[in-house]
Structures are given as structure tokens and as C-alpha cells.
Structure 1
């Protein structure tokens, strides 16, 4: 053997010989793919559990139990065909997949997802504690522009909540490090010698889930879209009146995603800046013509909107007869001033929509069927939110009062957005002064609410706009009042007898109406004694959802959507006793135009438009149904238009001027809510100087 070859053999032997004094480190086996899949599902579920815990109200054990019960309820519903749990997990799973592909490490993406869930849950919990409201898409804009102010909103339990989030993050990181140590592939997702192929797969599986999320978000807010059908088919049942309950019921992920991009309106084909300039000029001329005959300014008076919960004359309901009149005083007021019947889109619900229309002059009839709650779906993210109270100038002149939870329909947040300086309620920063209740009723009485209102009016000599939302007559109606003298019977022309439980509800409701009637009479007398001009717009938002017998007959639909309203001015206003000729029927969007006419006040181009619109169409609302409002889309069918006699109008039979007004209305409403806000810079909302 040559010497060179022998030397080579010796060297190879030296290299491959194991040192007997050293023990080789054992190599851990790579985890099988099925185990990764199991861990993926577990982490996905844990992320949802953390988020679900975040939408409970506190950090107590009771709330932990509540969040677990909520998850248990979701799991139990799967046996009934409700898969909203899987829908939330699917959405989280898509985000998880994106993190996996971006990091290419299972044990890096997993703790990131859990830490992200913990941070979001902590923010949810703190916001709910402070405002009883979950994170909304509009909050992302707040954080972008006001991160320095966030600390001022932290409630006292913030350290504990933040500590829990930190603990969850630490546990997730430690557990992932341990798993990565015992996993032979250390969580590497896509590996191999073909780097271009691996990079391509990572990009593909990043883009696909991101695209799926984007398509779902862009679709779920539109009625009858694929995202809408998938969401509802899997059990999503929106509860727009209460964002916290909605998140608890449908999952925080789904409830958030469906509000990101709601369908507001279709863009009118003629919409453009030039078109909006033409409209602004058209109603500028109309305002000039109206103002020639008017002498006062709208803001020279205090205006009070009183939304009287569920107020509507029960004696008008088909098949119902009472032994006494529950509203003699208001009936007398209606006979002496501008008054009539208001067409409501709601039955047993939908209060916030009446508020919205009354405050903005916009109509639910113009919105897409997907948009059922502007307070939840539209207003929080609106760039421009003009409302009638803003005509009174600085926020200090706009006051809201509602003796209930300020979080319902996100009112506390929305009223600030609309320019109110204070929103007095049972909780929050501004507590309503008087909270007395009557007998066994769980709600603050109208008398107490009126007392709080009068005190606010007397606080200043300045003129104000006050929005008052009562609660006394809110359902249910459980025999709350002592000495209730009302009895209910079938009317002579009743086609079907009333059930006993229906009679009991109507009897309790009638007593509440009588108490409202007495309190309203006293309220107006107190306002009459104040030496500054005051005008009150009083209206019921909808009928109570207690008329099951009448509601079973579709021919009663209009009758079950007509409430009572009046516009009254005190002696100091010098227009007391005015009774407008075209007041027999109306809808909330026309109130401010009617109030201006009642007060002989000059109008802006916008109010001139509403005045013209009301002269051609007395009332307008989207299609109505005789069921308690809880639906997640505007009912199918044609919008309802009533003439001055309360008769339905067909769009096909309208004259050219009325059709033009309807077209202008859609253009105006689109520009304000979903368009480019061209009217904002055209002085369309400005009252004459």
C-alpha cells in the first residue's frame, strides 16, 4: 500500500472514531404533521376563549365562569345547527395561517397569536368596564390619532387586567419555547432544498387567507351576499342594540368583522360634485323663497325633542277597547297645536332609528336593506355627521337625557360625535339627576325625566337643543302599577278575541300611558312659566310589541306603525297655538322642518329641501312588519310613502316634482353618509345669518 494512501486511511479512522469519554446528545424526533394539526386547533380555540373572556364585564371568577359558559353555549348550539363557534374559529384560523406563513415557524406564530388575543381581550375588558362597549372598527381611527389620550380612559382595574394579559403572553411564550425544544424540526413549516418553491408556497398561503378575510369583510355587511349567507347560515344573529351582548352571543371576531364595511347605499348614477352643486343651488333658492315670509331664527328658541318610549294611543289598535281614555291631556294638546300621527319603521323596537332620523333629517327608507342600525353600523365611523342640534352652535348648547344605560346603541359615544356636550344617563360621566320609579316598575318615571329636563333648561339663559328619551313605558308590562283602574276588552268589531295575557299587558301599558299623560301636562305647564321661548317636539317612537291579535293580520300593518306626535310652543315663544295645515301625518325625518315652520323660523337649504319634501310626501319609512324588531335587515318590499290623508302612495304614480325630490333626497343622503361630502363645503346646512 502506498504511504499516501495509508496516511489517508489513518486520518479517516481518526475522524470517524467516537471518543468513549463523551456521550452524544440525543436528537429529538420531528413532530408528525397530525400533531401540528391538533395543536393548531387547540391554539385556535384558546385564542377564541381568550377573546370571549375579554367581552365579559370584569376580571372576577364569576366572569371567568360566564365566559366559559358562553363558550359552552356556543358548543351546545352546534347540536342545534348553530356553528357560530366554528365561524369565529375559522376567522381566527385564517389569521393564524398568515402568521405561520410569514414567520415560517409554528412555535413563533402560536405565541404571537395568543399574545395578540390577550392584548385585544385586555383592551375589550377595559373598554367594557369604562363604557360597556366593545372595540368597534371606528376605534382604530381613534388609536391612530389619539394614542396619547388612551391612558386617561383606563379604569381602576386596569393593572390587574394588564397583568393577566402579560401572564398569558408569558405562559404562551414559555410553553412554545419548551415545545420547540422537544420538536426535532423546531416548528419549521416549509423547508427543503428548493428555496424558490418554498418561498412561493409561503406567499401563496399568506395571500389566500388574507384574500378570504378581505372578501368576507367586504361581503358580510351586504344583504344576500355570499358572506352574509355564510355568516347567517352558520348562526350569526346580530344584536345591534347592545355591542357587548352581540359579541358574547356571536363571538367577538364575527361581531367586529361584520361592522367594518357595512353596505350603506348604492351610489346614484348621477352622483358627482357638479350634481351636488346643482342641488345645493336649487334648495338655496327654495330657502330664499321660504325665508321671505318668515321673521324668526330657529336658534332664538330652545327646542326640546321628547322621544316618549312606546307612546301610542291604544284605542286606535284594531280589536282593543279600554274602559277609559289613557291620554286626555295629550289629546287636548294635540287639538290645540300642530299634531298628528307619525309613521314609525319599528314595532316593539327600533327606538334608535327614530332618534337618528329625527336628529339628522335622513330617512331609513333611503338606506340599503343591509343597514338596519345607523347608530351601530354607520355613525361611529362617519367622517361627517351633521345633525339638527349643531345649528345651536357649540356643544355646550346641546344636551341629551336618557334615564337608562348609556351604552345601548352606543348612545354615549354617538351623542358626542353628534356634538352633544352632555348625555345624562344612569351610568357614565354624566348621571341624570332624578331617578324615581313608580310602584314596581323597573324604569325611571317620565315625571322624574321631565324634572331633570326642566332643571337643565333653567340652568342657563342661553337657548339650547335638548334630546330627551324616556323609559317609563318600555316593555315588558308586568302589572307594575298599584290602583290600576283600566280594564281591557274586545272591541265590538273585533274579529278575534284577545288572550288574557295580552289583555294584562295592555292594561299595564294603558296605566303607564295615563301616568305619561299627567306628567307631560305638568311638564308643559312648567315650560309655559319659563320666560324664554321653548318649543317641544313630542313623539312616540313605536307601538309596544303587545298586540299579538292585531299583529297577526297583515292589513293592520300601517295602523300598528302609527304613533302620536305634537309640536308645542310656550307662551314666551309668541307662536303658541300655531297649528300647521299639513301636520296630519309625518315621519321623524321631517320634524325639524315642521318645527321651523311652527316657529316661523328661517331655514337652511337643507331644511328648505325637507320642507318641500314633506309638502309632497307626508311620511316615509322602509317596509314594515308586525313583529318585534330584532331583524338584521330592512324587511323586503317597497318603501312606504303616505300622502297628506295617510294613504299609501305608489312611486310609479307620483308626479315629476315628487320623483325629483325623492331622487334629490337619495343624492343628499348618499353624499352625507357614503359619498364624498361635497355638500359640507357648500353651506347646505347653514342657517341664514
Structure 2
């Protein structure tokens, strides 16, 4: 064959391929996908554009095959390290850019840099690179085949890979929308065929073929839409042929490629480095997970009422995204010419497979020299796995609905945290070794400490279902009492093992001193100690978002399971979970905090309580208040970009018009139940707490000497939670709060009613309400408070119900989760009926009852909506306060449209019109005179960290603290001082806040 002596390549197909891939990413991430039912014209326009650009990923493999002879002459292996360096630098640039743009950085993305194949983010790129590496062998083999054999091979593979999938409308060979290595290999064969058979010279009018192919492809959308409407009553199969491997798409691909190659007047010849820089920049700009995530979460556009605005937004995003890709390309072209880049690339360069083998051999030799440290790390690796398995049951409850085999989950999915545990242990071991220069003393002491950690965690989890935490260290002062709780045999065995290890350490150090005498210079000791000290000191900031230690823990995929400390220890390792809880600042100290200031505030509200109580009535002997947290209860009609056909909550909707009602600000979305529960019970605002304390139940309550809450006002306190009580440490928290009885699944006080609806895995709301009614009727003589959490509408939302009468339209819910919303709404309807039944029964009970009902958060179903735009609406649930017939004469309807959980106690007492204590006088003033506050829901979709505090008006406008009046700021300062004192301060006001009305 005649070789083209030119070393340059046509750049035009590369530009078009990159542009098409950018447009396809914009269509998927930056704008809302229009539904046919609402926007017919927009739907067709979207699908036409998508059909035209979807073949962008086909062009480069064909290009690769077409120019195979040129690529064959290049030493791609030598260039690989050069391009890998470009890939790493570009990834860093993108991450840093979004760090400054969103002040958020997830260092987990850096695993992608080291392991692009395992992360499944660059399947297409990796396929192209692998084929490029083996291209010389492939082309040499193809060059030896006859033209007849080549034709038969192309026809046969085209029939298998194109014709059959088109006929059966299935991805028969797992092409993954054209990203698999098998499909890329086929396209390379097509490109080679086009070049060798001189198809470009034989096709007289490639542009006409291009136009015809586009018409054919676009026509299939309209034809299949009509067919789909007639047969399915929807347009689900309208895009049946709009996949890169359909017959129509391949005709279009080949026509497009030949047309681009024939445009000689547009031809721009460039080097392989230019092509590599372009492709690397383009692929990273559109496929680094951080990029589409940020765009789709914070910048996605919908424009439901304006097609022109939607189209303008589409064009704008294409220009901006492609422009960013071009800028990265130019940056990479320039950086390749710098001395620093050239120097590093030269050091990393591998000339051939043999050269790679030599470098790997040198690494192995280095590891051999460090084998003792390597074996030590391997020992602690095995030790850590055994440690994690010892504190785990056979089945791990990784969520409220999912369990996993502990051995498989820890060994297969938790390797990163295991390595982090080993790294921490090895850092401690190296610290001892550098200080003492005695290998076996350092090793045995590290083993002993790790063994103590293992045994203490095993015992504590067995006794209290909680690992050892930093707060437990204060118990060491009462070590005698702890020892009395432990089986003497365990203590004796532990002491014996420690003595045996100590003796072993002495013997081994004497006999193997020379063998393990590591010669470490004073310079290396100094550097090593500095690094280790800095590492361990940084752990005191491990929960400060974007601190080095926070990012480092993210790198090792540490889950900050504060709500379930036991699970956190099981899947993170007890050492990492312990360190996770070191950096917990409860709350920033407000200016002016002192005992005198707290006493001044207490005195002020002593008088305020007297003033308020002049117009309030005395408590009835059997005064009763119920707080009902209804899991995930929220009106789907308020969700943007969603139209509900039937009303799933007609009774509650009507009741809200007749009672005190409105919206509650939730600081969670799809989770965070216990935080709302904590706020409602304690009247404390979670948005006042530090970002390092996202879960008060597990991180705060046990640290308080006294934990004031609404139960202090009542004689009989009952908690009902129709589910297990292991999450959020509820058993210990409710005991600390003063609940007399706690009813939960498999608890010592048995739940009488445990019926479920159809196949739902959770106890029904009807059962929960019947349980509550029994407790109400059993006590008609004393004051009573009941905390009820109903669980029926907890995720997941599988096909539970035999009956399902609800449907919707809109793009707030992505297609894969639409059936879940139907199930959720059916469950909402059952809750609505259960509330009707409960209200009717409350009116029959002859004692005054105030019933506070609220949803804790929205279900995590509305991922089609932009949280940056709709964050507030999607963090608002529904609430109402109902007074039964025996308290209705004295009760009053309140006008409070927007509340936060910490307002509920004051509102319930105000609606009941009964006397209050000074602490609730403060809460009444705060509730009535200061806007409800929460963490800024648009700042992040995460529920893990408290963000910026905002205040919300009755018209759903958000304000900052600087927008408040001076009187409101003064009241807020007083409240914040009291909250700080109760949670993080000296608790001067703890007994004051814990008073009951009877005590006064």
C-alpha cells in the first residue's frame, strides 16, 4: 500500500466530533428535557438536535481507522505518559475551577485520575486509547488480509453490530450508547475500510448523502412518535433509532465523515499532539463527574413558559461549554511547550513495553528494600479487616431498607477506608519507630493499642450498640466502675495477652536487633516527625468542610455516619469513626456570654412569663399535647415542574384551612428526620449549631448534663416510634429527655399494633394512631405528652400497594423514578385517611388535647429540579396544630404561615392558651416577633452540614440576619446565648429551662 508521507492530520473531523459531544452533554445536563405532553414543538426540536449530535462519539474511531497508517508510524507508547500528564493537569484545573466557583470540592474525584477505568467515567476514552496502543498490531494484520476478506468482514460485522440491533431495537452487544471497546473497534475497522477501499474517491456527492442521511434519521423520530402514540399512547419509542449503532445513524456517520474529509478548502492539518490536547480537553470538560453534576444541580434551566428562552439557553450553554473546551485545549497546547512540563514528561516517558518492565522492576526492588515496613502494613491490613468484622453482625443494615453481607460489603466495597485505617496505624507506628529506633517495641506497642481499641469497641457495641467515642474518654476517671461491668475472665485474658506481647517484644528486640535496626538519619527523623505531627494535628479539623483532613478523609470514601455511630464504626473502622467524632464544635460562642448575662436574660423572661400568664388559663389536670412527626409528609402539589392529577391529601388540605397551619422549614431533603425531631422537642434551632455537628442526637445530647425539652412540662411522657430504635441513638436520647416509656419494634415495651398496608415494609399510620389512642385513653388523670413518629411513607417507594390511583406529569421527577412518586402519593392518601380517623377519635376523648402534626422533609424524588433554584420550596413541609373539642373553647387559631421545628412548643402552648414557664416565654416572643430560620437550602443538596443561616418571610422571601430590625436582633441574641449555654456552655440556665409549670 502507498503510504501518505505527510505527518499532519485533518483537524476538521476532530473539531466537529468535539462540538457534537459538547452539545450532547448540554442536552443531558444543562437544560430540562421537554416532555411531549407539555411541549410538543420543543420535544421534537430537542430530539432532532440530539439525533444529529449523538454520532459525535463515532467520528474519532472512524478517523483513527482512516488515518491508521499514519498513527501506526507514531510511537504512541512513548507519548502515552506525555498525554497522561496532560490528563492529570487538566483534571486538577477543572477541580480547582469548581472549587472557587461553588466553594465545594469533593476529593473523591481524584481517584478518577489514578483509576479512570474503574470509575466508569471514561469508558469511551479508555476504549480509544487501548485500541490506539494496539493499532500497529491491528493494522499490520489487516494489511495482510485480502480486499475480498476485508469486505466480507465489514459486511458480517455490520450485520451483527448495526442491522440486528436496528431490527430488534435492543443493545444486543452491550455497546453502552457507543462507548464500549467492541463498538469502537468496529468503527476503527470501518475507517480502515473507507481508506483502503478509497471510498472517498468513489463517492461523487458526499454532501448530498449527508443531507439524505440526516433526513432519514430525523424522519424516524416523527414516524416512530406517531406509531408509539397509536400503540402505546405515549412517545416512549420515538427515539428508537436515535442510537449511534442504528443503521440510520451509521449511514449518517459515514456520510458526515466523508463529507468532512472532502472539504479540502476547510482542511486544517495539525500534529498528533494538537489532536491529543483537543480530545483530552474535550473529554474532561464533558465527562469529569463534577462538571455535569454542578451544572445539572445548580445551573439547569427549564423555562416552562418560554420556548424562545429555552432555545436561547441551549445555544448559550453550547457556546460556553464548547468555549471552555477550546480554552482548555489552548492551555494544554501552550503548557506542552514549557520546560517544566517537558522535564516531567521526559521523566515519566516509557519508550517501549520493555522499558516499562524495567521501571516496574526498579519499583519492585525498592519495595524489597522496604519489605519489613511492607509486611508490617500487611499485618495491620489483615488486623483491621478482622477488627471491622468482629464488631459487625453477619448482615449489615446499611440503610433503613437495605442489608448486605458484612464479609462481602467490607471486603469488596470498603477497601478505601480499610487503607485509611492502616495508614493511620502505620503513621503511629512510624512515630514510635522514629523516636525509639526499636522496631519490635514500636510494633508490639502499636499492636497492644490496636487490640485494646478492638476489644473496647466490641464490648461497648455489645452493651450499648455504639462504638467508643471521644466523649467516652472522660469515663476513664471512673475506671473502677467500668472494670466492674466487664467479665473478669475477659480482663484476665486481656492482661495475660498484654504481658505475653510485652515479653515477646523484649525477646525479639534483643535477638533481631541488628536485622531490624533501621538506619534513619537525623534529617529524615526530623522530616518524618514533622509530617506525622502535622498529620495527626490536622485530624482536629476533620469535619471542617474543605480542610485538608476533611478532603483527605473524602479521598478514602469515609462516610460520616453520625446518625448511626455503630454502622459508621463497622464500615469506616473504629479508629476512623473515633477520629470522625473528635472535631465536633457544638456552637460558636456568642459575644458577651457569661454567667451574669445568662442570669440577666433569665430574670427578664421570668417577668415576661408573668406578663404572658396573666392572660392565659391554668393547666387542666389532664392537659395533653401530641407531637406527630409524619415521615416525608409534604404536599406534592407545591413541587415546581410537577402537575398532580388527583389530590393525595384532601382531608389535611381542608383541615389546614380551618386550623393553625402553614409550612415548616426543614433542613433536610430526603433525610435528617431526627434533626427535626430534636428541634421540635428541645425548642433549639439546628441552624445555630456548628457545621461540625450535623446530628445533635448522637453528637450532643449525651454530652449535656441536663437536656431541657418539652417533656419537662408534663407528668406522663411517652414516645412511640413504629420502627427499630437503633438509628440516631434514640433509646439513650429519649431516656435522657425524660420519656417514661418508649415504644418501638422489638423494644421491651411492645407495640400492640403492627399492621402494614399491602406489601409496605413499614407499620401503617393507622396502626401508629391506634397505638397512640390506647395511650391517650389509658391516662385521663394526669398531664401527658406523646412524641409520635409515623413511618408509613419512609423510602424506598417500591410497588407496595395493590391500589394506585395517582398520576402526574412534569419533569421534576426523572423517568426512572416516576413509579416511586405514584407509590408515595398513594401512601400519602392512606396517611390522609389515617389523620381523618385520628382527629375524629381525638374529639371523642374527654380531655383537652393539642395535636401538632408536621412532615419532617420531602422525599428525595424530585431530582429533576434544580436545587439551587428550588431549594427553599423543596425544604418546606406542611404542618397544622389541632385542638380537640374539649379544648376548643379556650384555644385560638394562630396566624403563623412559616415556622421552624423549634417554634412548635411555643405555638402549641399558645394555641392551647395555657400558662408557660420563662423559657417558653422566650420561645413565644421569638416565635411571634422573629422570622423562622433555617440553613440555606439552596447552598447545598447535602443534609450533612449546617450552612449559612437564613430567615424566611410569609411570602417565602429569604433574608439574612443583617436584614432584621434591631429589636429582632436583640431577641435573637438572647435566644442564641441561652442555646449556647444549654448546649456548649456552662449550663447556667439548664434547670431554669427545665422547669415545669407546676414547679412554679
Deviation string 1:645-678 (CA, Å, 9 cap, x unpaired) is 4432343332110111122222111111111222
Matches within 5 A, 1:79-118: 84-97=417-430, 106-118=439-451
Aligned length: 624
CA distance in 1, matches of 2:782, 2:813: 51
Q: Residue deviations 1:280-338, cap 9 Å, x none?
A: 22222222211111112388512111100000111122232233221122223222322
Separation of aligned partners in 2, 1:679 and 1:444: 40
Q: How far 1:189 moved relative to its partner?
A: 8.8
Deviation by residue 1:127-154 (Cα, 9 ceiling, x = unmatched): 4345443233333445654864787799
Instruction: Give the Cα–Cα distance (whole angstroms) in 2 for the partners of residues 325 and 440 of structure 1.
Output: 23
Asked if the contact 1:130–1:153 (Cα under 8 Å) also holds between the matched residues in 2, the reply is no
Spell out, residue by residue over 1:518-554, the C-alpha distance to the aligned partner (whole angstroms, 9 max, x if none): 11221222222222222211100011111223x2263
Tell me, yes or no, if the aligned pair for 1:425 and 1:431 is still in contact at 8 Å. Answer: yes
> 1:640: which partner in 2?
950
SS in structure 2 of the partner of residue 57 of structure 1 = coil
Residue in 1 that maps onto 2:384: 48
Classify 1:683/1:435 alpha carbon distance in 2 versus 1 (closer, same or farther; 3 Å).
Answer: closer
**Residue 70 in structure 1 maps to residue 382 in structure 2:** no
Instruction: Establish whether residue 468 from structure 1 lines up as the match of residue 788 from structure 2.
Output: yes
1:249-648 correspondence runs (5 A)? 249-297=571-619, 300-392=622-714, 397-460=716-779, 461-490=781-810, 496=811, 499-549=814-864, 551-552=865-866, 554-575=868-889, 578-580=892-894, 582-625=895-938, 629=942, 631-635=943-947, 638-648=948-958
Distance 1:55 1:488 in 2: 46
- Give the Cα separation in 2 of the matches to 1:526 and 1:219: 52
1:424/1:163 CA distance change after superposition, 3 Å = farther
Distance in 2, Cα, partners of 1:500 & 1:184: 67
TM value normalised by structure 1: 0.80
Question: Contact conserved, 2:814 with 2:862, CA < 8 A, in 1?
Answer: no
Shift in Å, 1:449? 1.3
Q: Whole-Å Cα distance in 2 between the matches of residues 437 and 170 of structure 1?
A: 56
User: Matched residues in 2 for 1:457 and 1:85: separation?
Assistant: 50
Q: Is the 8 A contact 2:684 2:902 kept in 1?
A: yes
- Equivalents in 1 of 2:816, 2:492: separation in Å? 51
Partner of 2:970 in structure 1?
A: 660
Partner of 2:21: none
The 3 A distance-change label for structure 1 pair 633 and 596 is same
Tell whether the 8 Å contact from 2:870 to 2:938 is kept in structure 1 after alignment. Answer: no
- Could you tell me whether the CA contact under 8 Å between 1:43 and 1:110 is conserved in 2? no
Q: Secondary structure at the match of 1:509?
A: helix
Unaligned 5+ runs, structure 2: 1-367, 397-402
Does structure 2 conserve the Cα–Cα contact (< 8 Å) formed by 1:437 and 1:443?
yes
CA distance in 2 between partners of 1:681 and 1:205 (Å): 52
In the superposition, relative to structure 1, how do residues 500 and 218 fare at CA in structure 2: closer, same or farther (>3 Å)?
closer
Q: Indicate the structure whose relative CO is greater, using CA pairs within 8 Å and at least 6 residues apart.
A: 1
Segment of structure 1 superposing worse, 566-575 or 461-470: 566-575
Change (3 A) 1:144 1:359: farther
| 1:7 alignment partner in structure 2 | none
Residues 91, 213 of structure 1: 8 Å contact kept: no
CA distance in 1, matches of 2:876, 2:445: 55
Instruction: Return the alpha-carbon distance in structure 2 between the equivalents of residues 294 and 665 of structure 1.
Output: 23
Number of the residue aligned with 1:674: 984
State the secondary structure of the residue aligned to 1:287. Answer: helix
Residue 37 (structure 1) aligns with:
373
Name the stretch that deviates more: 599-608 or 523-532.
Answer: 523-532
Say whether 1:183 aligns with 2:512: yes
Distance 1:373 1:320 in 2: 32
Secondary structure in 2 matching 1:412: helix
Runs of 5+ consecutive residues of structure 1 not aligned to the other structure: 1-31, 78-83, 192-196, 491-495
SS in 1 for 2:878: strand
Aligned-partner Cα distance in 1 for 2:589–2:903: 23
Q: Among 457, 462, 472, which residue is 1:124 paired with?
A: 457
Cα gap change, 1:72/1:325 in structure 2, threshold over 3 Å: closer, same or farther? Answer: closer
1:298 and 1:53 map into 2 onto residues whose CA distance is 54
Query: What is the TM-score with the length of structure 2 in the denominator?
Result: 0.57
User: How far has the Cα of 1:353 moved from its partner?
Assistant: 0.9
2: CA distance, partners of 1:619 / 1:57? 43
**Would the alpha carbon gap of residues 116 and 575 (structure 1) be closer, same or farther in structure 2, given more than 3 Å must change?**
farther
Contact 1:299 1:392 in 2 (8 A): no
Q: Please, which moves more after superposition, 343-352 or 212-221?
A: 212-221
Distance 2:629 2:785 in 1: 14
Report the more deviating stretch, 277-286 or 538-547: 277-286
Once the two structures are superposed, what CA deviation does each residue of 1:459-484 show, in whole Å capped at 9, x if it has no partner?
33332221111111011211211121
Higher helix share: 2
The whole-number CA distance in structure 2 between the counterparts of 1:536 and 1:163 is 55
Matched residue SS, 2:958: coil
CA distance in 2, matches of 1:146, 1:523: 50
Cα displacement (A) at 1:123: 3.6
Counterpart contact for 1:133–1:407, Cα < 8 Å: no
Deviation at 1:96, TM superposition (A): 3.5
Considering only CA atoms, is the larger Rg found in Structure 1 or Structure 2?
A: 2
1:367-399 per-residue CA deviation (whole Å, 9 max, x = no partner) reads 222221112222232233211112225xxx222
Alpha carbons of 1:380 and 1:174: their partners in 2 closer, same or farther (altered >3 Å)?
Answer: same
Q: How does 1:124-143 map to 2 (within 5 A)?
A: 124-141=457-474
What SS does the aligned partner of 1:342 have?
A: strand
**Distance (whole Å) between structure 1 residues aligned to residue 940 and residue 777 of structure 2:** 41
1:225-245 CA-partner distances (Å, limit 9, x unpaired): 443343334433312232233
Q: Which moved more, 1:448-457 or 1:346-355?
A: 448-457
Structure 2 residue aligned with 1:6: none
**How much has 1:610 moved relative to structure 2?**
1.3
> C-alpha displacement at 1:562, in angstroms?
1.5
Distance 1:489 1:261, change over 3 A: closer
Matches of 1:467 and 1:313, distance apart in 2: 22
